[in-house]
Amino acid sequence: MATDKISPGMQQYLDIKQDYPDAFLLFRMGDFYELFYDDAVKAAQILELTLTSRNKNSDNPIPMAGVPHHSVQQYIDVLIDLGYKVAIAEQLEDPKKAVGVVKRDVVQVITPGTAVDALNTGKDNNFLAAVDKIAQEYALSYLDLATGEFFVTLLSDFDAVLDEIASLKAREVVMGYAPSDAEMQILQTQLNVLVSRETITIDNPELISDNLSDLEKQVSGKLLNYIMSTQKRHLTHLQPVKHYEIKDFLLMDAASKKSLDLISNARTGKKHGSLYWLLDETRTAMGTRMLRTWIDRPLVSELAIKMRQAIIQCFLDHFFERSDLTETLKGVYDIERLASRVSFGKANPKDLLQLAQTLSNVPAIKAVLTDMASPVLASLISQLDEMPELLTLITQAISPDAPAVITEGNIIRSGFNETLDEYRVVMRDGTSWIAALEAKERENSGINNLKIDYNKKDGYYFHVTASNLSQVPAHFFRKATLKNSERYGTEELARLESQMLDARENSSNLEYDLFLEVRNQTEVFIARIQQLAKIIAEIDVLQSLAVVAENNHYIRPDVIKNTQEIHIKNGRHAVVEKVMGAQEYVPNSIDFDASTMIQLITGPNMSGKSTYMRELALTVVMAQMGSYIPADQVELPIFDAIFTRIGAADDLISGQSTFMVEMMEANHAIRRATKHSLILFDELGRGTATYDGIALAQAIVEYIHENVGAKTLFATHYHELVTLENTLDHLKNVHVATLEKDGEVTFLHKIEPGAADKSYGIHVAKIAGLPSALLNRARDVLAGLESDSVAVVSAPSQTSGQLDLFNAPESEASRAIVTAIDELDVMNLTPLEALNQLFELKKML
């Protein structure tokens, strides 16, 4: 069978596709972007497109699907959101002027990590991360293409790399080395990121400093090369890469951040019910992003923490000025992202007008802060760059009513360009000139119904009916003949027409050129715009924290670097209190003196142990990000890390049980924690057999006590552990108070010194609504177990109630059974031996 001949256009497609095998190739053909072969088949299914074929009548028709060019973005959005890459191949010349096949090439590759428009992320960052290593040392670099932020750090092991990627919520990771199968499995399956490869390191002294280590320069260079090769343009908004240290911030792994509901509610995945939701009273998109960063990376510098506190206090002391500040911030647009749009060459007139609106608000922001007359605001005020020259340029050049498109005119303000003004005079006055000429020729010729008309073929012309042809003046020349009329022109009419058409076309082209010139001049200010964006964001976050503190009656915590004591008087879990309402919430005090290292917490489920533990963790996070605290008084050390194990967490994706996850997280904590860390363990060991669980829980408590030295809250149901207070000098028992009256139990949600004497599990089951017959049976079983007489309580008789073995009339048989049970060495029986013994006892009965 003869092979179908490939057309030049399809050969061009195949040549381009060869360079982008891992991306959907959108191939511009006229008014459509077309997909072919496997791309078409897959995209048709994903995007619900009609799958057709090219060369339908050939032996091997080519699958084809397409989308209109004006709506392509919505289809790109879907593909990117599902984790695919999209390569955009544009027509590089006018098809009407092309000789042979129209020149086409890929102008941009959009990926989950480089998406700016596609993801429409709004206020959130979209970080692209890169990982590289030399020997056993790792480096991670990340940037946000929408804001230009660029960072790099060194990490000790792959677990730290995973924590950082998870914290960044990166959707794509560029690997600078060949990852192992196990590493790929974790990245793709557990973190659900797109993994790309990059082997080329580029040297860019403007962005990558010589002060970085060789590995940091290597990973940053590979990330930069990946960006340049996918975006295919010079990105002037990228900021010089900044080195940071993990130890410069309060360390929290991804599991801890999730369990504490810092950025999103772990149960719903939504913002509502998180610390971010509680603290977000920001007024700008830039402030919102910075608030997330502050929550994600609390400080460990006492000086920096206290500087934030001082500014918040200043805002609290100046209520009216702060209200004015809030109003001025409402007129601030996302200039950080506007700067990137300028760099990308995508900024439109409305973008520049938003930039000008923001710049016009800067003097008002500066004036409000100056009126507060506080030295703690001096640094912020000095960095508020008004950029009057840029503001003047935009306000003089861009019309306030300019449209978003840049090719249809009406962009440039009158008075900005003399030539453009002349064109506009012609366009504005041309209509009256035509009307005047029509009236003059009508009067001179005596043709009462003479009029000037226009169409695209003949342009402007005098319309003369057949009955008036004898009156046509000599200077008229014929342009067209119709059945009952003639169309004429004159030199004067032709001159007016030429002026008007030229003015219309030339003014549109001139406006386009003038706008590009203004945009290019704006590009010079990108670094200053980005710096201004950071300062406004910082002001916004600090006023937000002041508003939250005032509305919720929070207090300023006393953060002391070298103290070993924790004193929180009537502290509250900030998020739970907000959801419940202050009137319902029961506050708790938390006290660790210098000699106390571990609090062992006992008490029933649903009584408030987990809330108590999270209260301390959230208090630490809020305090070290500079926020005020829900309490009557707070004195805290500065922690270097928080490790948590709270709540069940089966890792179904990797096939790990709750117990395995517990042990892995416990190992992670005790190996990395220092004496300046905070550890929160809730019900550790419950995922295995009781004695195994008790043994492991005790060993972990002892190990932390003897080898780690971290402040620790350890909640447990194993009452056997309360005796540790007698052997461990730095451990104290606390419990959740209960009120028991007439068989009814009330949880007081108050933590008090000492150990709990009961677990009240059956009462919790009652609250949950289990049937009363079931609860009664549970009480009988519990009574039997607590008697220490039998290992298993027999089932109740169907006819005469439960067998009362030990109160039955004595007989030789019953004495033999009692003796057999009494002689059982329950603690040393294997499971099989226990079953055999039970079988023998049943036969005796």
Query: What is the rounded CA–CA span in Å between residue 542 and residue 536?
Result: 10
Q: DSSP states of 167-199 as a string? A: HHT-SEEEESS---HHHHHIIIIIS--EEEE--
- 753 pLDDT more than 60: yes
Structurally, the chain folds into a number of domains equal to: 6
pLDDT at residue 502, rounded to an integer? 81
414 annotated ligand-binding residue? no
Name the nearest CA neighbour of 487 among 530, 532, 517, 457.
457
DSSP 8-state symbol, 20:
-
Confirm or deny that 609 is annotated as ligand binding: yes
Q: What is the mean pLDDT of residues 370-380?
A: 96
> What's the one-letter identity of residue 706?
E
Number of Cβ within 10 Å of residue 460's Cβ equals 23
Task: For residues 340 and 234, give the distance between their C-alpha atoms in angstroms, rounded to a whole number.
Answer: 11
CATH (domain of 433): 1.10.1420.10
- 210 and 169 together in one domain: yes
Q: pLDDT-derived band of residue 759, with 50, 70 and 90 as boundaries?
A: low
Using DSSP's 3-state secondary structure scheme, residue 691 falls into: helix
CA pair distance 768, 760, nearest whole angstrom: 13
- Is 362:318 a contact under the CB 8 Å cutoff? no
Q: Taking 90 as the threshold, does the pLDDT of residue 429 lie above it?
A: no
In this structure, what token pair is assigned to residue 548? 């939250």
Same domain, 715 and 786: no
Query: For the segment 341-374, what is each residue's pLDDT rounded down to a tens digit?
Result: 999 888 999 999 999 999 999 999 999 999 999 9
580 confidence band (pLDDT: 50, 70, 90)? confident
Residue 733 and residue 643 share a domain: yes
CA gap 411, 400 in Å, rounded: 8
Residues 18 and 36 in one domain: yes
60 is in an annotated binding site: no
511 inside domain: yes
| 190 pLDDT more than 80 | yes
Does the annotation place 21 within a ligand binding site? no
pLDDT reported for residue 297: 95
Can you give the pLDDT at residue 801?
Answer: 45
> What is the average pLDDT across 381-409?
93
For residue 651, what pLDDT is reported? Answer: 45
How many whole angstroms separate alpha carbon 635 and alpha carbon 629?
11
Q: Identify whether residues 653 and 604 lie together within a single domain.
A: yes
Is residue 235 assigned to a domain?
yes
CATH of the domain at 680: 3.40.50.300
Mark whether 183 and 103 lie in a shared domain: no
Give the bridge partners for 746, in sequence order. 739
Clarify whether residues 505 and 542 are in a common domain: no
> Does residue 402 fall inside a structural domain?
no
The last residue of one of the domains, among 110, 136, 154, is 110
Structure confidence at residue 1 (pLDDT): 33
The answer to whether 606 is annotated as binding is yes
Which of 207-216, 668-677, 703-712, 741-750 has the weakest average pLDDT? 741-750
What was the pLDDT predicted at 141?
A: 97
Residue 255 lies in a domain: no
Q: Which residues, 6+ apart, have CB-to-CB distance to 39 below 8 Å? A: 17, 24, 25
- Asked if the model's pLDDT at residue 750 lies above 90, the reply is no
Say yes or no to pLDDT of 666 above 90. Answer: no
Classified as helix, coil or strand, 21 is coil
Got the DSSP string for 300-347? Answer: --HHHHHHHHHHHHHHHH-HHHHHHHHHHHTT---HHHHHHHHHHT--
Distance in angstroms (rounded) separating the CA atoms of residues 477 and 487: 9
- Tokens encoding 79: 């593909």
pLDDT exceeds 80 at position 765:
no
- Domain assignment present for residue 408? The answer is no
Q: Of the residues 54, 77, 110, which one is the last residue of a structural domain?
A: 110
607 is in an annotated binding site: yes
Residue 809 assigned as binding residue:
no
262: its two tokens = 């810092």
Same domain, 573 and 648: yes
Residue whose C-alpha is closest to residue 15's, from 80, 98, 87, 78: 87
Question: Which has the closest alpha carbon to 150: 131, 176, 128?
Answer: 128
Burial class (CB in 10 A: 0-12, 13-18, 19+), 765: middle
653 has pLDDT over 50? no
What kind and span of H or E run contains 134?
A: strand 127-134
Question: Phi-psi bin for 823: left (phi > 0), alpha (psi -120 to 50), beta?
Answer: alpha
- Mean predicted confidence (pLDDT) in 144-163: 94
What pLDDT, on the 0 to 100 scale, is given for residue 806?
46
pLDDT band at 741 (very low <50, low <70, confident <90, very high): low
Name beta bridge partners: 711: 678
> Residue 132 carries which side chain, given as an amino acid letter?
D
Looking at the structure, tell me whether residues 725 and 593 fall in a common domain: yes
Q: Looking at 210-224, 319-333, 418-432, which range is the least confident one?
A: 418-432
| 187 and 159 assigned to the same domain | yes
The residue among 587, 593, 596, 646 whose CA lies nearest residue 619 is 587
Starting at the edge strand that comes first in sequence, how are the strands of the sheet with 459-465 ordered? 451-455, 459-465, 485-489, 477-481
Residue 474 lies in a domain: yes
Element (H, E) at 217: helix 214-231
Same domain, 698 and 777: no
553: left (phi over 0), alpha (psi -120 to 50) or beta: left
User: For residue 122, is it within any domain?
Assistant: no
**Of 629, 549, 547, whose CA–CA distance to 322 is shortest?**
547
CA 439 to chain centre: 67
User: Where a domain ends, among 77, 110, 143?
Assistant: 110
Percent of the chain with pLDDT over 90: 61
Dist CA 759 CA 606 (whole Å): 11
pTM recorded for the entire structure: 0.82
pLDDT per position as a tens digit, 638-652:
999 999 987 654 443
Rounded Cα–Cα distance for residues 427 and 429 (Å) = 6
- Identity of residue 164: E
- Domain coverage including residue 483: 418-519
- pLDDT above 60 for 787: yes
Convert the pLDDT of each residue in 447-467 to its tens digit: 988 999 988 888 889 999 988
Residue found by looking up tokens 């069940």 in the block = 648
Domain match, 706 and 839 both: no
Instruction: Give the model's pLDDT for residue 777.
Output: 79
Considering only residues 55 and 260, tell me which one the structure prediction assigns the higher pLDDT: 260
Q: Does the structure show a pLDDT above 70 at 413?
A: yes
Instruction: Return mean pLDDT, the chain.
Output: 88
pLDDT grade for 253, boundaries at 50, 70 and 90: confident
pLDDT for residue 799: 47
Looking only at the bridges linking them, the beta strands covering 242-243 and 150-155 are parallel
Domain-embedded: residue 175: yes
